[in-house]
């Protein structure tokens, strides 16, 4: 189904602005009646996907053949998820055109079987061989905050709020007015204080020839990374940029799949991966990307899409509390960003961005189906025989 959720305020960055989000949500019902939920957020400017396209991929894929196997344990479930290959409908060289779709379907299956097996989603992290070196469960984690572009007074108030609320990490959206960014960063640094870890995100807005200069102009304010400075089309130029700046470079729009990750490692275009569950094709793929970064000596963060409902927030929490060395954690902000809610629990982070691990089976949340029904734009059912 496609669900429209309203945002409390318009979200702006250099690539896009939005006041609502159309999310792709999947409800999976097992033969015994156990229900699981999954969510993906298709973004055409990130992976080339749309919510309508995700629905078409469901219709075009032979679900009975790919998802009809009996699963008696977690290994069966994980193998089914690994084997799932939805029909992209067109050439897919970066292997990202079905990522939001895959994320939603995969999470719904993992949630359903987690409930059936009475096992939380976080248990999956220790069952993936590639992640054995980075699996480390913790009882709580601290999320990062973000400041988007706005008027100076609003940015000052946001900066003060981050400091008072006790955050330790903050992402600043830059490049909408690039010549003003050094002034903006200087002002924010003054109000967030010297202890705040500040990083910037250009959302592909800079040209290759200006990127190093733009980053150098922000370095006096102690930034700890520069996220996706150029468009994916120009991502190869970042290997030279890295040699000319002190600030670590993070890939986001250019990091959607293992294909992208292999290219980034080989071409030395980044220091960090931004891993977002929906953008990267689901929980299992995201685990593999974190493992790839770790084994290549790179860092990684858990990212999110603005507008994620509690379904994706819960999945992100399981990831965040299972994997070690995550540089920054984004997400679990649905209570602060959304006007519309579709789960019964509140899992929004608390003061300072702190949030506990979820130990309940599956995703550990329950969907309010009556509230969800009022927000549905399109819905279809696909029996698997």
- Per the annotation, where are the binding residues for Mg(2+)? 201, 227, 252
Rounded to whole angstroms, the Cα distance separating 87 from 90 reads 8
Rounded to whole angstroms, the Cα distance separating 228 from 235 reads 8
Nearest partner of 340 among 368, 379, 303, judged by Cα: 368
Token representation of residue 318: 């399981």
Rounded to whole angstroms, the Cα distance separating 105 from 99 reads 10
* Strand (E) or helix (H) holding 46: helix 44-47
Nearest partner of 227 among 278, 269, 283, 166, judged by Cα: 269
3-state secondary structure of 10: strand
Token representation of residue 71: 């699963």
Contact between 7 and 72 under an 8 Å Cβ cutoff? The reply is no
Strands 145-147 and 169-173 turn out to be: parallel
Question: What's 285's DSSP letter?
Answer: H
Bind-site residues: 201, 227, 252
Strands 354-356 and 140-142 turn out to be: antiparallel
3-state secondary structure of 195: coil
């Amino acid at each position: 189904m496609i669900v429209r959720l309203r945002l409390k305020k318009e979200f702006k960055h250099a690539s896009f602005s939005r006041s609502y989000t159309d999310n792709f949500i999947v409800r999976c019902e097992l033969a015994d009646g156990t229900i699981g939920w999954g969510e993906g957020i298709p973004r055409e400017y990130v992976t080339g996907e749309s919510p309508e396209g995700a629905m078409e991929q469901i219709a075009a894929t032979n679900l009975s053949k790919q998802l009809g196997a009996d699963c008696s344990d977690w290994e069966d479930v994980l193998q089914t998820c690994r084997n799932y290959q939805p029909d992209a409908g067109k050439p897919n060289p970066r292997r990202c055109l079905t990522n939001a779709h895959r994320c939603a379907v995969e999470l719904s299956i993992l949630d359903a079987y987690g409930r059936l097996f009475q096992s939380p989603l976080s248990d999956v992290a220790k069952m993936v061989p590639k992640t054995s070196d980075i699996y480390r469960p913790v009882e709580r984690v601290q999320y990062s905050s973000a400041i988007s572009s706005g008027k100076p007074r609003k940015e000052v108030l946001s900066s003060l709020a981050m400091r008072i609320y006790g955050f330790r990490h903050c992402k600043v959206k830059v490049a909408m007015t690039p010549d003003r960014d050094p002034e903006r960063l200087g002002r924010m640094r003054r109000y967030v204080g010297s202890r705040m870890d500040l990083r910037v995100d250009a959302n592909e807005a800079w040209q290759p020839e200006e990127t190093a200069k733009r980053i150098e102009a922000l370095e006096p304010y102690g930034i700890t990374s520069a996220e996706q400075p150029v468009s994916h089309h120009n991502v190869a130029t970042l290997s030279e940029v890295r040699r000319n700046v002190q600030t670590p470079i993070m890939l986001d729009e250019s990091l959607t799949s293992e294909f992208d990750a292999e290219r980034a490692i080989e071409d030395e275009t980044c220091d960090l991966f931004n891993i977002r569950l929906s953008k990267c094709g689901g929980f299992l793929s995201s685990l593999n990307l974190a493992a790839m970064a770790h084994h290549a000596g790179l860092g990684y963060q858990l990212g999110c899409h603005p507008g994620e409902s509690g379904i994706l927030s819960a999945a992100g929490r399981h990831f965040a509390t299972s994997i070690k060395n995550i540089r920054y954690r984004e997400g679990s902000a649905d209570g602060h960003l959304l006007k519309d809610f579709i789960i019964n629990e509140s899992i929004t982070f608390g003061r300072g961005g702190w949030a506990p691990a979820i130990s309940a089976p599956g995703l550990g949340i329950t969907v309010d189906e009556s509230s969800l029904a009022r927000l549905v734009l399109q819905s279809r059912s696909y029996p698997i025989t």
